[in-house]
Chains A and B, each alone.
Chain A
Amino acid sequence: MSSPASGKKRHGKLVSQVITLAHGGGGKAMRDLIDDVFIEAFDNEALNTLEDQARFSLSDLQQHGDRLALTTDSYVIDPLFFPGGDIGKLAICGTVNDLAVGGAKPLYLTCGMIIEEGMPVETLRQIVASMAQTAAQAGVMIVTGDTKVVDKGSCDKLFINTAGVGIIRTGLELGADKAQAGDAVLVNGMLGDHGAAILGARGDMQLSTDIQSDCAPLHELIDVILQAAPHTRFMRDATRGGIASVLNELAEASRVEIEIVEAKTPIRQEVKGFCEILGLDPLYLANEGKLVIVVPKEESDAALHAMKQHPLGAEAARIGTVLPGGRPGRVTMQTVFGGKRIVDMLVGEQLPRIC
């Protein structure tokens, strides 16, 4: 372990193999857990001082832009480890992406953990290591945190909350109410991978798939898009509820009709097959590394071209258009078969059909 820059050397060493209520009790066991697992992995100046709050210099923040962006998200995924990621990676990517889609440069994250007693320390270490690695990749620091341990059965293994702050670049105004007739609707790649990977990994339906979650921090790709298409109107990561939900929110907020073309909507064959078998609609499956982007028509080619140069946008596609004179708030799809249908908001959770 590297010596913290603050000069405070941490010595706590976790002896137990499993997390017990004592590790949330505020005493030595908790201190050992924080030192040995969290400080060890996250290791940065703001965190290592172990004050009750992280402190930032306002003038440093102002170098990045003129507005502060603040977001929070809780991660309760089952299983904790899945093809393409784990809850730790997700907890970083999700919050980083929520900041970045608003045009903010993500800077600092918090990490709150609620752990069910009995969790193997080794499992927690793996998850924390994955958080540290993803945070480094995303260029953010985890600067303060909190740990609670609850009785068996009071939570499902591990819940993580991360809040994040970022700074929005001066002059940038992205919003769901900014789509205009004629604008192009783009996505940065294959849709529904995360949702299908999680359902597959739960193993309930004994379908073995090779589908990997698309979980990834998108801040770099977003920078690329904003450079290529400086008048970008809107971006959102299409997480729960899939792109259908994002498009509906967009159509509603901008009072426009959006039409997507099924044949242009990139969905992996495996995901399509998975959905066919279970009676699910991939438009509603969660993504953790996919954006819906709205740009003026004139900047659409540039945005697409730029995205395709980036590994997280190699399969980017223009999937639709903001219709001139359509019905406000409506999302429709030209089906592969030549028909037209409404793509509505999902009611409740998608449940597999019986036959």
Chain B
Amino acid sequence: MKYVDEFRDPEKARVLLKEIEQLAEQIHQRIQRPVYLMEVCGGHTHSIFRYGIETMLPACIELIHGPGCPVCVLPMGRVDDCVALAQDSKVILTTFGDAMRVPGSKKSLLAAKAEGCDVRMVYSPMDALGLARKNPDREVIFFGLGFETTMPSTALTLLQARREGITNFSLFCNHITIIPTIKAVLDSPDLKLDGFLGPGHVSMVIGNAPYQFIAEHYKKPVVIAGFEPLDILQSIWMLLKQLAAKESKVENQYSRVVPDKGNRVALDAISEVFELREFFEWRGLGSIDHSGVKMKQSWADYDAEAKFVVPAIKIADPKSCQCGEVLKGAIKPWDCKVFGRACTPETPLGALMVSSEGACAAYYQYGDVEKLEQHRISLQELPA
């Protein structure tokens, strides 16, 4: 594709990889252990697997696939609430495609749909608002989730709904916010991490400034990265340059999309509609303070949690699931006890097996080719 292929040029990759190898070796000599880099965003995880980037990197660089897949980190209790909303015959429940497969404690939305609930896949919240317009006698609920990337479109849709006086539309809000989550990762005691690939799309909205504390307080370099394979390689190279020079700065590799100050219009829309929750429950990571947003009191008439009764029962993650440790880089997906056995993309136990942006599902599907095979073989050798 025009304007895309140049970001996938294998020749340029070879040049970058050579420099990455030299830098990584130099750092490795100094710290006498692998260099651990975390990509925060699920979109990066997807690209890394899609292009086999891990198979090209030197062995002394380990990528840790962070908590940035909003579908993956949704706790089961919230999915149960969503299913409960969908079971109301008045309700048309709308959401993004991959949110439909997330397992609740009993079922996913896909299963609820099969049982007769009116669950519809949409490509944007505006499509959901369109359904509300077309079905004035039904209540259309949009099951909104995602980081600051998807938050503005939800907020703008609500603003539009109010402008048009549409009253049969509401949001079941599960939006989450990235900075407290990164902070929670940084504060965890079993953390192994040397630097971050910052989330490109989130940063397009929030800009660079919110990451400064990572560089200043935690002394870890951050490079905000684009999603094409060369973007990712170049960002890894930039992180290594900083590490080699013992620096920790926030740099912006994705400047063609990410303005330093973020997007004012999007931020204004967010702050008009949403405010921080005191805490929000994450699959795999537990409760994190100020990590989720809810609708402001003045928006209660568009808030599904205010308009409807939701069970709001907290469901603990399955005990056998080690998603939290994978998310923090403490173990690799294939080191988890249930990976590929009780937990597969067909029957995901843990968050990270749910979406192709989750580290476990990505490994399972695209694989660190040899590692995955070794794991599969060892599974075959074990008694079932």
For residue B357, CB closer than 8 A to chain A, the reply is yes
Tell me the complex Cα distance, A327–B346, Å: 23
For residue A15, CB closer than 8 A to chain B, the reply is no
Tell me the complex Cα distance, A281–B71, Å: 19
For residue A7, CB closer than 8 A to chain B, the reply is no
Contact residues in A for B149 (Cβ distance below 8 Å): 355
For residue B84, CB closer than 8 A to chain A, the reply is no
For residue A1, CB closer than 8 A to chain B, the reply is no
B344: nearest residue on chain A (CB-CB)? A347
Taking a contact as CB atoms closer than 8 A, the residue among A206, A337, A339, A351 that contacts B100 in the complex is A351
**Number of chain A residues whose Cβ lies closer than 8 Å to a Cβ of chain B:** 30
Asked whether A341 lies within 8 Å of B55 as measured between CB atoms, the reply is yes
Asked whether B1 lies within 8 Å of A276 as measured between CB atoms, the reply is yes
For residue B355, CB closer than 8 A to chain A, the reply is yes
Quote the shortest CB–CB distance from A137 to chain B (angstroms).
34
For residue A344, CB closer than 8 A to chain B, the reply is yes
Tell me the complex Cα distance, A342–B70, Å: 24
Asked whether B99 lies within 8 Å of A354 as measured between CB atoms, the reply is yes
Asked whether B201 lies within 8 Å of A339 as measured between CB atoms, the reply is no
Taking a contact as CB atoms closer than 8 A, the residue among A276, A333, A348, A354 that contacts B96 in the complex is A354
A347: nearest residue on chain B (CB-CB)? B345
Asked whether A352 lies within 8 Å of B97 as measured between CB atoms, the reply is yes
For residue B145, CB closer than 8 A to chain A, the reply is yes
Quote the shortest CB–CB distance from A298 to chain B (angstroms).
29
**Number of chain B residues whose Cβ lies closer than 8 Å to a Cβ of chain A:** 52
Asked whether B70 lies within 8 Å of A354 as measured between CB atoms, the reply is yes
For residue B19, CB closer than 8 A to chain A, the reply is no
With A348-B101, A353-B97 given, is the CB distance from A341 to B369 under 8 Å?
Answer: yes
Q: Mark B240-263, 1 if CB is under 8 A from A, else 0.
A: 000000000000000000000000
Quote the shortest CB–CB distance from A246 to chain B (angstroms).
17
Asked whether A339 lies within 8 Å of B145 as measured between CB atoms, the reply is no
Tell me the complex Cα distance, A259–B230, Å: 23
Asked whether A355 lies within 8 Å of B52 as measured between CB atoms, the reply is no
Asked whether A338 lies within 8 Å of B101 as measured between CB atoms, the reply is no
- Identify 28 residue pairs between A and B in the complex whose beta-carbon atoms are under 8 Å apart, listed by A's number: A205-B123, A206-B123, A281-B50, A327-B373, A330-B373, A335-B50, A337-B8, A337-B52, A338-B14, A338-B56, A339-B229, A340-B55, A341-B366, A341-B367, A341-B369, A344-B364, A344-B367, A352-B96, A352-B97, A353-B97, A353-B98, A354-B70, A354-B97, A354-B145, A355-B43, A355-B146, A355-B147, A355-B149
